[in-house]
Amino acid sequence: MLSCSPTSTHHPHSTSSQHSHPQTQTDRHPSNAPTMASEKSSSDLTLLDFWVSPFGQRVRIALAEKSLPYEYVEEDLLAGKSERLLQSNPVHKKIPVLLHGGKPVNESLIIVQYLDEAFPDTPSLLPSDPYARAQARFWADYVDKKVYDCGSRLWKLKGEPQAQARAEMLEILKTLETELGDKEFFGGEHGFGFVDAAFAPFTPWFMSYEKYGEFKVAEVAPKIAAWAERVGKRESVAKSLYSPDKVYDFIGVLKKMYGIE
């Protein structure tokens, strides 16, 4: 896990737009490949993103898996949305946005598929067999529709609605557990794949879900917990995600912003 922000971004709580290195930075910076996520690079890929966004992280993971150089641009969403973001994604006004030769691609899973198709000589995240692809798309879509929304309700709500969100979250984890089964990755024979990239960014959020929902992933879905640990060690994932503590703190910031107790 990263213990600090990527080099080309600023810490979300600072007002400086320069590189700023928060106290917790270690000397050995995990994303230490300057040709990757820091300078404007020769491939014309730019990623508009927000440090803790699991959706943005999917794209970072995919880009890392493919060893594709790109310019990372941190959008300070808590301060407002940049002109470039609003122009690149006028419909949703959301990150992540991938700009390829200036042309925007939006929606994290769509971006990941685009990267597979636009860079066919790089390791692909979707498998080649059509049926396996259909399964991968189904499950990535399932993660997409369920995890973030349910998780948000878990930390936003209280009482009965929160209990409902908790029950749903357990259901989601158990369903994913069944799908994972005894595979090392959701991608099965393909290895680390589309669904792994789709779900991995949520693993640092488990701790927060556990705290708010009062359960343990390791008890409810032990295979998912083991998978989370495995996947967290993978280089592309490790350098894209933040620690569970950082995520927990971020949720705290959001709650204050929304005026939630």
Partner 1 sequence: MAEEGVKVVGMWASPFVARVEMALRLKGVTYEYLREDLANKSEMLLRYNPVTKKVPVLVHGGKPMAESAVIVEYIDEVWKDGYPIMPADPYERAQARFWARYADEKCNPAIYVVYTSAIGEGQAKLVHEAQECLKTLQKALEGKKFFGGDAVGYLDIVVGWYARWVPIIEELSATSIVTLGGFSTSVTDQELPMIKAWFDRILAIDVVRETLPPRDKLLPLCKPDSDWVNLGGFWSLVAVGWIVSVMACVGSSNAVWVTAMMTWAGVHGVVLDGGWGGRSRVSSLSLTTGEGGTPLDVRAATLVVGAVAHRRRPRLECCPVVAVARAA
Q: Choose the stretch contacting partner 1; rule: CB under 8 A; options: 24-32, 51-59, 64-72, 106-114.
A: 106-114
Q: Which of 65, 75, 107, 196 binds partner 1 (CB under 8 A)?
A: 107
- Choose between 149 and 229: whose C-beta lies nearer to partner 1: 149
Question: Should residue 142 be labelled a site residue for partner 1 when binding is judged by CB under 8 A?
Answer: yes
Contact residue for partner 1 among 63, 105, 220, 221 (CB under 8 A): 105
> Applying CB under 8 A, which of residues 28, 103, 258, 259 lies at the interface with partner 1?
103
* 135 binds partner 1 per the rule CB under 8 A: yes
Among 18, 23, 27, 130, binds partner 1 (CB under 8 A): 130
Q: Which is nearer to partner 1, 120 or 259 (CB)?
A: 120
Residues near 150 by beta carbon (within 8 Å), at least 6 away in sequence: 165, 168, 169, 172
**For partner 1, the closer CB: 107 or 196:** 107
Contact mark string toward partner 1, 213..252, x via CB under 8 A? ----------------------------------------
Please state the closest distance from residue 28 (CB atom) to partner 1, in A.
36
117 in contact with partner 1 (CB under 8 A): yes
Residue ranges binding partner 1 (CB under 8 A): 91, 100, 103, 105-107, 110-111, 113-114, 117-118, 130-131, 133-135, 137-138, 141-142, 175
